[in-house]
Structure 1
């Protein structure tokens, strides 16, 4: 049985922190692969992604193309609407019955787990690999027992990079080079995404 980690998110844009999180989880949780699944409409965020789904998928493909253990799936974008994890993992288990799935999440999302849609049912279908992020301490005692039992913790290097900061840098004309992989940087600049200048 293959062990698969799921990296969900808007990836608006994908950045070095996402890739380090995925590789950290793959290594520490002994995963066979990590599947990146960009969301259509994230349920716990108050704004829609700025880049289109097609462009976000392409940025993830560009970012992960050099790692044979990483895959990109667009199943949530094809499904459309609000991207609930329970729907995604149910579909994945039907398509890949010989795989075991775990969601890779940062400490901010660990604290939000009780708010996830049909979370108790989800916890029976997939595990969770929790990575600590800078300035966001884990509050595991607040979690119900069924979530603590489903959670595996992994130590991640403390890297404070966010998509919000990267979008702000592009909009302000500041450099975001090395915060995103070089092919993603070129793609953003080439299309003028996030208010970036098209000329180099």
Structure 2
């Protein structure tokens, strides 16, 4: 059975922390691939300065381009509307019945799993994979397979603030993503 990791998120913008999480899960669980799955509309996050769906998708493509074991999963764009993991994974499991999906989440998401839409049904479809994040307990009553990984306190929020204030982005996101952000004038970039 093929083993596929899914790393969902807004990727607004994608950064080095996303790449590290995906790679650590890929290696620790000996996955066949990890798919980065941008939300169409996240149920819990919306910002005034959001990049468009197309911009976020392009940034993910640029971020993962050098890595053969990373792919883009566009299902949430295809489905449209608010992206609930349960609906997405039901559809993915229908399309790919011979795949075991590993849904990769950080400590903040582990701590809030009990609030996820249809979580009791979702845990029957997929295996959650957790990576600790600084400032979180990274614990849940739900089955989460923990992966040891470097803890990095990096967020897309921090990166958007840095862009607005002209701060450095070096080593925080791939150069190709930074170049795209500046070219498109995203997040107030000059």
TM-score after normalising by structure 2: 0.96
Q: 1:154 aligns with which of 147, 150, 169?
A: 147
Tell me the distance in 2 between the aligned counterparts of 1:48 and 1:75: 24
Give the structure 2 partner of residue 12 of structure 1. 12
Secondary structure of the equivalent of 1:50?
A: coil
Query: Would you identify which runs of 4 or more consecutive aligned residues in structure 1 move more than 3 Å?
Result: 46-49
Contact 1:26-1:32 at 8 Å conserved across structures? yes
Count residues in correspondence. 190
Tell me the distance in 2 between the aligned counterparts of 1:72 and 1:104: 14
Question: Are 1:181 and 2:174 matched, yes or no?
Answer: yes
Deviation digits for residues 14-44 of structure 1 (CA, Å, limit 9, x no counterpart)? 0000000000011112211101110011122
Contact 1:6-1:35 at 8 Å conserved across structures? yes
Contact 1:41-1:48 at 8 Å conserved across structures? no
Tell me the distance in 1 between the aligned counterparts of 2:39 and 2:5: 16
Q: 2:163 aligns with which of 167, 170, 173?
A: 170
Structure 2 stretches lacking a partner, 5+ long: none
Secondary structure of the equivalent of 1:20?
A: helix
Give the structure 2 partner of residue 192 of structure 1. 185
Question: 1:1-200 to 2 correspondence within 5 Å?
Answer: 1-45=1-45, 47=47, 50-140=50-140, 143=141, 147-148=142-143, 151-197=144-190
Structure 1 stretches lacking a partner, 5+ long: none
Question: Residue 96 of structure 1: CA displacement?
Answer: 1.2
Tell me the distance in 1 between the aligned counterparts of 2:131 and 2:15: 16
TM-score after normalising by structure 1: 0.91
Question: Residue 78 of structure 1: CA displacement?
Answer: 2.1
Question: Residue 46 of structure 1: CA displacement?
Answer: 5.2
Deviation digits for residues 99-138 of structure 1 (CA, Å, limit 9, x no counterpart)? 1001100010011111111111111111100000112122
Secondary structure of the equivalent of 2:37?
A: strand
Tell me the distance in 1 between the aligned counterparts of 2:68 and 2:34: 10
Secondary structure of the equivalent of 1:23?
A: helix
